[in-house]
């Protein structure tokens, strides 16, 4: 098997495809049969209120009724909307306050995933938002242009609450991103795509994983983009930038276009790549992001689809029906990334992902809110190795900062060109390993921790999470 094939189709993914495991029985699911044709919804850009130089973004976490199927209201959760949340656009250097008011009947939290924030502002289970209360994440933006997101991080309830709709996009801009000749008109040629899969029963979202589905991760049979089933994006014939988030609980997507065309990946989780990378498919595990640019200049009056190669299912239809009034030309160089060498590392840490009898662990310990698992000095350069000892896929997410991958399965040759950027999530396939280099650069707190965990949400909820303080 070729290396790329291994990365694209791990053993557990192959098992899903061959046996149908991970899919709910279609007899109890609506699938796409009642879905209606609709235009791709674009999450609203949330306008801030400036108070003494601080940009305040007010967000209400609430129950909702959302129309996935024509004429039918499905029970959901959302943030300022019936399902998912408004897009938060912020600038490097901004002082911001993200004010979350919980109108649910249950506790929640709101984690700014990918953002460099003080641990007290991170939105972990340590910053619970009780019903009818408001919690604010206040910080100064100090990071490169990127696509991040926010979502529930409630203890033992993250999977269910994200599944019901508690997630939204955060876009960071900086002077560098503004100067590049890239598509950057939000909603026209700069398009967020939150990709998810869901199980529906009687046209209602059904979050009821069996014990086996919790072990694998909960996989749905209906694909959703920005809260719509197989929507259509009506596009001008020009370069289009898609900010793609794998917002699923547990699915790994291998994304490409129906005609097999090339496209350019320009950014990973935490920043631009130094140069665009030409691809025909991009592999994303849960919570990973990729910004891509696809050139539709010569495709006027054509239709193509964005498809997951692992399932041959369609996420998005793209109808190129508009004559472009502006053009862009993708630069050959995008940014310069600060990099560290292995010789600079002052400490190596190993994290082994494991589990048994329905409980997951890291280094033999399941998540305990009162236990600090690691203490990481500010400014130290470290190498972390993450080993997956199980026969199912996992990934690994770190709060507080980003990292750069060094090796997969013991070899630097297994790091693909489009992975050589700032990351905060990386796939660790069954019985595989990754090694990355990391440095804590922002904040210290001896008592309030950050998290590291698998971002297969059922695994996180079942204990595959640890805590570290930056000191």
Q: Is the pLDDT of residue 349 over 90?
A: yes
Cβ(291)–Cβ(266) below 8 Å: yes
Strands of 70-131, DSSP E: 72-79, 84-85, 88-91, 95-102, 111-113
Q: Which pLDDT score, from 0 to 100, does residue 272 have?
A: 98
In the CATH hierarchy, which fold is given to the domain comprising 3-30+182-322? Answer: Immunoglobulin-like (2.60.40)
More confident residue, 9 or 252: 252
Q: Is the pLDDT of residue 334 over 80?
A: yes
% of the chain exceeding 90 in pLDDT? 91
Q: Which pLDDT score, from 0 to 100, does residue 7 have?
A: 39
In this prediction, residue 33 has a pLDDT band, given cuts at 50, 70 and 90, of very low
- Superfamily name with CATH number, domain 49-176: Cupredoxins -  blue copper proteins (2.60.40.420)
Indicate the DSSP class of residue 398.
E
Distance, in Å, from the CA atom of 172 to the CA atom of 126, rounded to the nearest integer, reads 25
Query: pLDDT tens for residues 421-441?
Result: 999 999 999 999 999 999 999
Indicate the DSSP class of residue 298.
T
Q: Which pLDDT score, from 0 to 100, does residue 30 have?
A: 37
Cα dist from 441 to 111, 141, 435, whole Å:
19, 13, 19
Count the Cβ atoms, other than its own, within 10 Å of residue 201.
Answer: 13
In this prediction, residue 36 has a pLDDT band, given cuts at 50, 70 and 90, of low
Query: pLDDT tens for residues 368-404?
Result: 999 999 999 999 999 999 999 999 999 999 999 999 9
% of the chain exceeding 70 in pLDDT? 92
Give φ, ψ of 11 to 5 degrees. -60, -40
Q: Is the pLDDT of residue 236 over 90?
A: yes
User: Which pairing describes strands 433-439 and 381-388: parallel, antiparallel, or unpaired?
Assistant: antiparallel
Listed by start position, the domains of the chain span: 3-30+182-322, 49-176, 342-470
**How crowded is the C-beta side of 29, counted as CA atoms within 13 Å?**
19
Does 49-176 match 342-470 in CATH topology? yes
Cβ(30)–Cβ(69) below 8 Å: yes
Q: Could you tell me where the DSSP H helices lie in 98-170?
A: 158-164
Q: Is the pLDDT of residue 27 over 70?
A: no
Residue 61 structure tokens: 């976490």
Query: pLDDT tens for residues 165-186?
Result: 999 999 999 999 999 999 999 9
Q: Is the pLDDT of residue 471 over 50?
A: yes
Statement: 342-470 belongs to CATH 2.60.40.420: yes
Q: Which pLDDT score, from 0 to 100, does residue 35 have?
A: 59
Query: pLDDT tens for residues 58-99?
Result: 999 999 999 999 999 999 999 999 999 999 999 999 999 999
């Amino acid at each position: 098997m070729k290396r790329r094939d291994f990365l694209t189709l791990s053993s557990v993914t192959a098992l899903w495809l061959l046996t149908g495991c991970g899919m709910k029985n279609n007899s109890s699911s609506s699938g796409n049969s009642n879905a209606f044709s609709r235009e791709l919804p674009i999450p609203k850009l949330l306008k801030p209120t400036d108070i003494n130089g601080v940009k305040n973004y007010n967000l209400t976490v609430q129950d909702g009724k959302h129309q996935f199927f024509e004429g039918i209201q499905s029970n959901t959760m959302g943030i300022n909307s019936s399902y998912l949340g408004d897009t938060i656009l912020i600038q490097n250097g901004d002082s911001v306050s993200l004010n979350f008011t919980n109108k649910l009947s249950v506790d929640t939290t709101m984690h700014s995933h990918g953002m460099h924030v003080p641990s007290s502002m991170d939105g972990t289970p340590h910053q619970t938002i009780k019903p009818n209360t408001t919690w604010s994440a206040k910080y100064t933006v100090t990071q490169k242009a990127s696509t991040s997101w926010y979502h529930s991080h409630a203890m033992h309830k993250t999977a269910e609450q994200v599944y019901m709709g508690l997630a939204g996009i955060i876009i960071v801009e900086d002077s560098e991103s503004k100067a590049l000749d890239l598509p950057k008109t939000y909603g026209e040629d700069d398009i967020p795509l939150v990709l998810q899969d869901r199980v529906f029963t009687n046209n209602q979202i059904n979050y009821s994983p069996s014990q086996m589905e919790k072990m694998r991760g909960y996989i749905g049979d209906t694909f959703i983009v920005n809260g719509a089933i197989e929507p259509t994006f009506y596009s001008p014939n020009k370069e289009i930038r898609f900010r793609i988030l794998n917002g699923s609980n547990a699915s790994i997507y291998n994304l490409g276009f129906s005609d097999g065309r090339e496209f350019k990946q320009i950014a990973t989780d935490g920043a631009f790549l130094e140069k665009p990378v030409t691809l025909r498919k991009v592999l994303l595990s849960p919570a990973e992001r990729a910004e891509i640019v696809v050139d539709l200049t010569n495709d006027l009056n054509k239709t193509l689809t964005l498809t997951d190669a692992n399932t041959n299912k369609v996420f998005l239809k793209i109808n190129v029906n508009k004559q472009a009034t502006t053009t862009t030309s993708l630069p050959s160089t995008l940014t310069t990334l600060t990099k560290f060498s292995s010789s600079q590392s002052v400490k190596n840490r190993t994290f082994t992902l494991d589990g048994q009898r329905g409980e997951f662990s890291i280094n033999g310990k399941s998540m305990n809110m009162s236990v600090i698992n690691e203490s990481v000095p500010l400014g130290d350069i470290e190498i972390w190795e993450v080993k997956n000892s199980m026969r199912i896929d996992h990934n690994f997410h770190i709060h507080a900062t980003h990292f750069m991958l060094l090796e997969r399965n013991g070899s630097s040759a297994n790091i693909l060109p489009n992975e050589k950027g700032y990351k905060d999530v990386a796939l660790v396939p069954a019985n595989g390993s990754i090694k990355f280099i990391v440095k804590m650069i922002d904040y210290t707190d001896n008592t309030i921790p950050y998290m590291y965990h698998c971002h297969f949400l059922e695994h996180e909820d079942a204990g595959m999470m640890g805590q570290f303080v930056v000191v």
